[in-house]
Amino acid sequence: MELSDKTARQIWDDVKANPNRARFGFGKKAVLVNIDIQKAYTDTEQFATAYETDPNQINYVNDLARKFRALDWPVVWTRVAYVESGEDAGAWGTRTNTPDSLQNIKYGSTRYEFDDRCEVLDSDITYTKRMPSPFFETPLQSLLVWHGVDTVVLTGGSTSGCIRAGAVDSLSRGYRTIVPEQCVADKHESYHFANLTDLMLKYADVVDVQEVITYLDTQKG
């Protein structure tokens, strides 16, 4: 194992600055999957489970969503919720049982609500998920087949959790996977930058959000 005195952020900066890094690239048609941009994870004044990395994250996500809709490409929003007993969280919900615990994000609760800044339209698709990946036990895969997409753009959080799980599942299903850096967030910079590095080296293209915008602006709906 290679040892280093560098921080996770410094290692990420080194990887990002490498002009020879291989890319998956964009394909012909994409889906935007916005993962768990809900108050449990965004309302830092109200919930201990919430976090913020880039203060403009949700603005960027909304900008991307508008461009996807203009192309008539699918926009998906996921969020987490569990039944009153929490039993559908399975083993994942057994470590703790406090008001902040995962399995205590209940349907209809404030923690379940999308962040008020999110522009979620009736024409968008929303899924409730119970595990990290947006693909796990949701109709997402069938939706992507129907739309004939070959590229998945992931936003939301957390970088080290659901974004990473979504990227692994997306690549495993044969999709080009794109993570706009300014559009993902995590609780601590160490987790965030370490996982951006891992995503870039293995599972996805981590790019500046402007690169995604430029790609969308060159497409025809």
Which two structure tokens, joined as six digits, stand for 115? Answer: 């962040």
Phi-psi region of 137 (alpha: psi -120 to 50; beta: other; left: phi over 0): left
Residue 183 annotated as catalytic = no
pTM for the structure as a whole: 0.97
Task: Judge whether 115 and 37 are in contact, CB under 8 Å.
Answer: yes
Query: What is the predicted pLDDT for the residue at 220?
Result: 81
Give CA–CA dist 101/75, Å, rounded.
Answer: 29
Beta bridge partners of 30: 151
Domain boundaries of the chain, sorted by first residue: 26-217
Q: Which fold has domain 26-217?
A: Rossmann fold (3.40.50)
Give CA–CA dist 49/78, Å, rounded.
Answer: 17
Burial class from Cβ neighbours inside 10 Å (0-12, 13-18, 19+) for residue 69 reads middle
Cα four-point dihedral sign 108, 110, 114, 116 = positive
Instruction: Give me the tens of pLDDT residue by residue for the chain, a chain 221 residues long.
Output: 989 999 999 999 999 999 888 999 999 999 999 999 999 999 999 999 999 999 999 999 999 999 999 999 999 999 999 999 999 999 999 999 999 999 999 999 999 999 999 999 999 999 999 999 999 999 999 999 999 999 999 999 999 999 999 999 999 999 999 999 999 999 999 999 999 999 999 999 999 999 999 999 999 86
Give CA–CA dist 91/29, Å, rounded.
Answer: 37
Cα four-point dihedral sign 189, 138, 152, 80 = negative
Q: List the catalytic residue out of 35, 118, 153, 162.
A: 162
